[in-house]
Structure 1
Amino acid sequence: MAGGEGTRLRPLTSNQPKPMLPMANRPMMEHVLGLLKRHGFDDVVVTVAFMASAIRNYFGDGSELGVRIRYAVEETPLGTAGSVANARDLLGERFLVISGDVLTDLDLSALVAFHEERGALATLALKAVEDPLEFGIVITRPDGAIERFLEKPSWGQVFSDTINTGVYVLEPEILDLVPSGRPVDFSGEVFPAALAAGRPVYGWVAEGYWEDVGTLEAYLRAHQDVLDRKVAVGDLGFELRQGVWLGKGATVDPAAEVRGPALIGDNVTVGPGSVIGPYTVLGPNVRVGENAAVERSVVHDGSHLASGVRVEGSVVGRACDLRQGCHLEEGVVLGDEVFVGAAAVLKAGIKVFPFKTVEMGATVNTSIVLESRGARSLFGRQGVTGLANVDVGPELALRLAMAWASTLEKGSTVTASRDTSRAARVLKRAIMVGCNAAGVDVEDLEVATVPVTRFQVRSGPSQGGITVRLDEQDTQSVVIRFFDRDGIDLDEAAQRKIERLYAREEFRRTFASDIGDLRYPARTLEYYTAALMDRIDVDRVAKAGFKLVLDYSYGTASFVMPNVLAKLGADVLAVNPYAATARSIGGDRQGAAARVADLVRSSGADLGAVIDPGGEHLTLVDDEGRVLADHEALVLLVDLVTSRGRARRVALPVAAPSAAERTCVSNGAEVTWAKLAPAHLMEVASDRETDFAGSLEGGFIFPRFLPAFDAVATVAHLLDLLAEPDGGTHRLSRWSSRVPRIWTAHEEVVTPWEQKGTVMRSLVERLAGRDLVLVDGVKVLDAEGWTLVVPDPEEPVTHVWVEAASEEAARARVEEQAARVRQLLV
């Protein structure tokens, strides 16, 4: 299979398909064909799509390599299975599927023998890897029979480190399971269909070398493995001495030094005084001048490195020209035919796309094409986060907005908002410029709460929304959050698409006449209030005459709440009732709740609440002045909405207290489990059957109004739940007294990234036969509570949560479970 574009390897794959990318001076596909030939496969069908002519022109009919090659052209993307099925006329007997762009020396003969012994319809070659996130996880039984597939999981779904290598032995009849006319993948559709039909599908765990070579880091690492002879790739050339290989016609000046392991390609020239350091690969026809230094780098064919050039841990594309004294720092990647002027310095991690010029003496310390080193991904738990005007500055915001807008149709509309901070104001303006430049109109709400922004997206003409705010946990940082057309946080697939466009800077740039417009929608707060009132029995609430104490935390909820409370006829004592950035940052939530509790008791109020500056979360205080912890408030609200018949289905995060689930069951409501990420809880809450959802951080969702956290809506619904038709009210303390004591404990276990998959696989194996919940991480249920183990998606740690019958038991159990996780670390 040779149809891949290799987008993550750009700019190296900008002008050539990934199978043609040089690996130890030969195309990766040539190494694959050599492996096939060594195991007796001499009739090869190659599926081609992207830049197919480059592959055809190089390999021809395969006679030079001792194999027969025929080609199947994929006119439109068909997926892995669709691509193979497209060549069904050439596949009349048992066949093997392998990617043309991997580096491997798997024992294909043993794989075929295993397939024959099991009488399988399909046998998959499996491999244990350090980081399984970018691959399809496969879980097998002891006899090799496949039990479950999971494509490209999040860390919370990593139940094994055994992944699908994309190497299969298949019987021709499996193609009958491939629908025609649309993209179809083997792992996502065909193999699960075969399992569902009771057909034998097996996994064979390989012991040899396998590397996807999907990233630039993996590309350099694979070369190191070749030079260390960790993978068998055939003859590297004449071995001048141990670990130093020389190609035909290569010339190394006697005054030059080559420190192995290193590979010098055909017709390479190395000038006097130069040092070719360890793990360097010089492609054919490369010229290295005097006193140059190259180490841990790959230089493709035909490039020229002038005297005094220094290249460290970098990749230089074909036919590049590096002039005297220039310096490529760690992680620099140059596309084909890049010119770098004399004495220029390219700082670490810079990517330069093909045919570009770096002027003489220039210091390139900002990205030409931004690389992805440093952070594992652009998006985090909340959105795009970083130090204001350092990590997240106007330049990043503009490019990020252009990437996002490029995923939308030209002429679309988006909604933008911010908090009161100047940092958010600057970044939002850059975002609006980026959207307009990509041909997208912007409705600017200026300063608004997050829920109001979501509401405007859902109710207006927008296809998405964006809001910029200071991070409540770190007031020097900002958070940029993106919403889809339903006002919900973007899912992981949409985030990845934005990241790809951002990294490659493949933005849509419109003509002057198509630049987007900027509008200021009118009466948004009035529409929001009216829509909320449609979900509330306003007359009953007003008749009850509630008395409230509300702390607005100097946030934007102070713009919204007065309109709502005016409709509900509540008597309100407002604390911190205006928006002020300086006062809102670094607020003490617990201290604010304690002050509200004092005011509730002294004023005889029915309830109190502290609303966060963004208007999404709140801390509840009952009529007796008791401050409810977030998990207690969750159980209380679950009890209220289910016992009063307002909710038949409730969405809860997997770490929710057992009392919340028991309350749902006793009141006849169904529970749907969600991941710990708030975005997933909102996604689950968007289901039409869900009536209520709540988080463990004081965020509550009433989906019939807005399937997202909204503190203002929560207060309004809470009053509606407490109000009686005769004008009386339920006391909130009556419901808070029903909440049982909840004892939980949490601990973090430092876990290297490369061991997370191994830890989770070992954990699942140890817990075989136990009552498990595999929604996010591994949750083990028992009579006294539960234990939850979840790998962190952003940090090298694993979280361990427990619930037990007492504080002492919870602390003892979390320490015990954390110790068990540490034992799994190798």
Structure 2
Amino acid sequence: MTTEPEDDLYDRIVTPHDIRGLFRAELDPGLAYRTGAAFTELTGAGAVVVAHDTRGSSPLLADAFGQGVLDQGADVVDAGLGPTDYLHYVSGRLDLPGAMITGGAAPAAYNGIRLCRAGAVTVDEGTGMELLRHRLRRPRPPFADHPGSVLPARVLTDYAAHLRGLVDLTGIRPLKVVVDAGNGTAGLSAPLVLSHPSIELVPLHFAPDGTFPHRAPDLTDVSGLQEAVRESGADAGLAFDGGGDRVLAVDERGAVVPPAAVIALVAGRELARRPGAAVVHDLITAGCAIDAIREAGGIPVRSRVGPAAIKALMAEQDAAFGGSHCGRYYFRDLWYAETGMLAALHLLAELGDSGRELSELAARHDRYASSGSIDVPVPDPLAALQRVVRHFAARGTALDHLDGVTGELADGAWFNVRAPGTGPVVRVNVEAGTVAAMGRLRDRVLDVVVSAGP
């Protein structure tokens, strides 16, 4: 591990959402061991579920984390290799806290530890991550009088059966679907979850390989999937990130299906099962998804951006489903956890039931013009937000401060400016009824953000 002061190291790699760093240089087996011990002390649990992804360093870190648990006298429920939502399934089913050793969408040289309390409840800043950061700065807790035991629980097939049981594929038309697992854990879970007599799976990069030789583990480049869909004449394509819990869909032409359209389609199916239920969305989700929730008889509930905020609000509202602007999907039926695989099942069911092309289904939810997220470097994010508030409040714009500052104009257009906590930057999102109106509002907001005036 690096020789930098420990406080600096912990401030950097113990993020508000997980532990993440370069393997060996920042996150090594020693730190994983101490995290396992500290997490066991923090939760007071008698057992902790541990799973890991396909990175070459992940089994080593999982073993070290687990030894930290064992030395505190708790048992390790060894779930083995699988996607992140598999860990949440085991945590929820057994009502135990858990740790997923995964770098998620980070480059191959990185790895990380994601934590949840019993019932798959996210550990985040404010719900335990700050306490863990503090505990890691203290000496390792003393050994227990009697170490715990390792309890094997390789139940990936049970996880797959659980997801398959939530979506009825009976009677769907034949579909050809290209699935790009990106050499991540979806290469293990996709055949178990998505296989069906009416679905012809065309696999891309299913072989687990933590070096990710074919594409980065994030979803920024899905050109290989798009090409494969067009060349094979497939009805749809699905790409999963390195951790296997995020999904990106493309239609039969290879065009990316916007997350808002996925939210709209999945919400409609979930609300058909649970009429009148709440559906949580973050406050920069496109308006077409919110329209679709209302049209399906659901109750849209706005959330701050981020998994912890969405999951907590879903639990509070007993929501059937939750979605974010960036393509993360959460389900009551998986203890409010994120699962791209269940979203994919719903998408294929809708495609197979409707008889329409995926491009047509998505086009029904293309009603507004959006800027997408625009990151603007600023010396002082708080000052930039204050400028936005002063400028628009003086002009009578309705403002709220659920997350940053959101303004809604009389014609229904809206903007949000917030500090994402990633340095001296603010993130701007704008939506309006037409491209021209969106462009005018976007430029106006950007001008205020970067202005040097009081």
Length-normalised TM-score, structure 1: 0.50
Query: Secondary structure of 1:596's partner?
Result: helix
Query: Secondary structure of 2:109's partner?
Result: strand
- In structure 2, runs of 5+ residues without a counterpart are none
- How far apart in 2 are the matches of 1:550 and 1:777? 37
The one of 114, 121, 127 aligned to 1:488? 121
The one of 420, 426, 432 aligned to 1:798? 426
What displacement does 1:679 show? 2.4
Match of 2:251 in 1: 622
Q: Per-residue displacement from partner, 1:84-130 (whole Å, max 9, x unpaired)?
A: xxxxxxxxxxxxxxxxxxxxxxxxxxxxxxxxxxxxxxxxxxxxxxx
Change (3 A) 1:677 1:802: same
Q: Per-residue displacement from partner, 1:633-674 (whole Å, max 9, x unpaired)?
A: 344544565578767321111111122222223333211111
Aligned pairs for 1:42-191 within 5 A: none
- How far apart in 2 are the matches of 1:419 and 1:603? 30
Q: Per-residue displacement from partner, 1:525-583 (whole Å, max 9, x unpaired)?
A: 22212222332224344xx3433221111111121222223456522222212211222
Contact persistence 1:444–1:518 (CA under 8 A): yes
Change (3 A) 1:746 1:409: closer
Partner amino acid for 2:427? H
Match of 1:533 in 2: 164
- How far apart in 1 are the matches of 2:392 and 2:3? 50
> Is 1:469 aligned to 2:102, yes or no?
yes
> Is 1:814 aligned to 2:442, yes or no?
yes
Structure 1 runs of 4+ with >6 Å offset: 643-647
Change (3 A) 1:381 1:567: farther
Q: Per-residue displacement from partner, 1:246-273 (whole Å, max 9, x unpaired)?
A: xxxxxxxxxxxxxxxxxxxxxxxxxxxx
Partner amino acid for 1:533? R
Q: Per-residue displacement from partner, 1:307-331 (whole Å, max 9, x unpaired)?
A: xxxxxxxxxxxxxxxxxxxxxxxxx
Contact persistence 1:402–1:434 (CA under 8 A): yes
Percent identical pairs in the alignment equals 20
Match of 1:609 in 2: 238
Match of 2:359 in 1: 733
Change (3 A) 1:490 1:628: same
Match of 1:586 in 2: 216
- How far apart in 2 are the matches of 1:825 and 1:585? 44
Aligned pairs for 1:240-639 within 5 A: 370=6, 372-373=7-8, 376=11, 379-409=14-44, 412-460=46-94, 462=96, 464-491=97-124, 492-505=126-139, 507-513=140-146, 515-522=147-154, 524-541=155-172, 544-566=173-195, 569-582=198-211, 583=213, 586=216, 589=219, 591-592=221-222, 594-638=223-267
Change (3 A) 1:460 1:449: same
What displacement does 1:601 show? 4.2
Contact persistence 2:19–2:113 (CA under 8 A): yes
Contact persistence 1:475–1:585 (CA under 8 A): no
Contact persistence 1:747–1:818 (CA under 8 A): no
Change (3 A) 1:606 1:595: same
Query: Secondary structure of 1:406's partner?
Result: helix
What displacement does 1:809 show? 5.0
Contact persistence 1:443–1:521 (CA under 8 A): yes
Match of 1:748 in 2: 375
Q: Per-residue displacement from partner, 1:706-726 (whole Å, max 9, x unpaired)?
A: 4222122112222333444xx
- How far apart in 1 are the matches of 2:4 and 2:161? 48
Change (3 A) 1:428 1:688: same
Query: Secondary structure of 1:615's partner?
Result: coil
Match of 1:357 in 2: none
- In structure 1, runs of 5+ residues without a counterpart are 1-363
Contact persistence 2:265–2:347 (CA under 8 A): no
Partner amino acid for 2:157? E
- How far apart in 1 are the matches of 2:207 and 2:99? 23
What displacement does 1:746 show? 3.7
What displacement does 1:482 show? 0.8
Looking at both structures, which has the greater relative contact order when contacts are Cα pairs under 8 Å and sequence separation is at least 6?
2
Query: Secondary structure of 1:431's partner?
Result: helix
Contact persistence 2:184–2:208 (CA under 8 A): yes
Query: Secondary structure of 2:103's partner?
Result: strand
Aligned pairs for 1:657-676 within 5 A: 657-676=286-305
Query: Secondary structure of 1:407's partner?
Result: helix
Contact persistence 2:106–2:218 (CA under 8 A): no
Contact persistence 1:378–1:499 (CA under 8 A): no
Partner amino acid for 1:690? A
- How far apart in 2 are the matches of 1:780 and 1:798? 15
Change (3 A) 1:535 1:636: closer
Change (3 A) 1:590 1:796: closer
Query: Secondary structure of 1:539's partner?
Result: coil
Q: Per-residue displacement from partner, 1:126-155 (whole Å, max 9, x unpaired)?
A: xxxxxxxxxxxxxxxxxxxxxxxxxxxxxx
What displacement does 1:426 show? 2.3
Contact persistence 1:682–1:708 (CA under 8 A): yes
- How far apart in 2 are the matches of 1:422 and 1:596? 25
Partner amino acid for 2:320? D
- How far apart in 1 are the matches of 2:348 and 2:294? 24
Contact persistence 1:558–1:577 (CA under 8 A): yes
Change (3 A) 1:377 1:470: closer
Change (3 A) 1:400 1:737: same
What displacement does 1:610 show? 1.3
- How far apart in 1 are the matches of 2:306 and 2:334? 21
Query: Secondary structure of 1:608's partner?
Result: strand
What displacement does 1:701 show? 2.1
Partner amino acid for 1:821? V
Match of 1:224 in 2: none
Change (3 A) 1:812 1:736: same
Match of 1:125 in 2: none
Equivalent residue pairs, number: 447
Match of 1:36 in 2: none
- How far apart in 2 are the matches of 1:811 and 1:538? 42
Contact persistence 1:550–1:575 (CA under 8 A): yes
Q: CA RMSD in A?
A: 3.1
What displacement does 1:735 show? 1.2
Q: Per-residue displacement from partner, 1:490-547 (whole Å, max 9, x unpaired)?
A: 1323112212222233x4323342x12222114x122212222332224344xx3433
- How far apart in 2 are the matches of 1:497 and 1:588? 29
Contact persistence 2:20–2:27 (CA under 8 A): yes
- How far apart in 2 are the matches of 1:374 and 1:625? 42
- How far apart in 2 are the matches of 1:822 and 1:557? 42
Q: Per-residue displacement from partner, 1:442-468 (whole Å, max 9, x unpaired)?
A: 112222100111101111252x11112
